[in-house]
Amino acid sequence: MKKSPLIIIGITLKPNSTPEFYNILPNLCSWLLRRKRKVIFQIEDKERVYKFFKNKVTDHLEFWDAKKFHQDIDIMLSLGGDGTLIGVCRRIKANIPVLGVNLGRLGFITEFNKNEYFDRLGDILDGKYDITIKPLFHISVMRKNKVHFKDYFFNDAVLAKNDIARMIYLRAELEREHIYNISGDGIIISTPLGSTAYSMAAGGPIVHPDVKSLILTPICPHSLIHRPFVVPDTSPIVLKILPPYHSVTLTLDGQVAINIDDQDIVLINSSKVKKVSLIKNDQRSYFETIREKFIFSKRD
């Protein structure tokens, strides 16, 4: 379905600079400006964007603060990998379409690679694109019956031990029903889109992104019967620390980390408000991506 043309273009860059930006950014920005688009970067990226342009003219580029940058643009181009895209998804306003471009080798969420996105960009900016809407998941840490911390995650939330050669003990519940007690290195709560990341490496299943679920994957469980669970995302997940207590950290999408106290309770549920609109690559299916990344089969 054709939509209104996209005029104000935000560009998010991979945090770690890559030599590819020296070629990609000047060409991309010149192409956009010739088509009468406004090109916007975050103010924090101003110095290194100038480096990528060397001595070329950058007078027509704009640099906005983080809040305006994630709320007042028409489309966001995420140039990097899955980590860069996840960072965008946690901040972007829900109705702004996000185009994920993978500049690396392994990426599942980024729909386009660096060799194909440019051929499609003209049509996308003219409003010829489809989106898939994905929820973020809300997480809160309760401490002494008060909300100590709250945030969102897109890929996974990980509750893991800090100490070497120590196990931690956790209780997992689904809507007040006891699932199991786990002893081991911790637990991963993964979304379907995040199922091919840390959860899979820890032995969790690959879950199609259209399945409305969360995946509980124990990390190095001490008991062989503590297997991954796929549960509906309509009910809250509750995690509690059990004695004997050891140092524990909660990590969201590998980008935010906080220490968890012994008596803290971690609550996870699907957000009814926080969502992200990802531009779909109609030239590639989910299973094509899986086959390409994992090389399940070399036959046609």
One-letter amino acid at 9 equals: I
The CA distance from 9 to 62, in Å, is 10
Q: Of 28, 21, 153, 132, which Cα lies nearest the Cα of 83? A: 153
Print burial letters for 16-52: b (CB count within 10 Å at least 16), e (below 16): eeeeebeebbbebbeebeeeebebbbbeebeeebeeb
Among candidate residues 82, 151, 233, 253, the one labeled active-site is 82
Those residues with Cβ within 8 angstroms of residue 271's Cβ, 6 or more apart along the chain or in another chain: 135, 136, 137, 138, 152
Evaluate whether 172 touches 288 at the Cβ level (below 8 Å): no
| Residue 59 known to be catalytic | no
Cα–Cα distance for residue pair 41/61, rounded to 1 Å: 8
In angstroms, the CA 213 to CA 254 distance is: 20
Catalytic residue ranges: 82
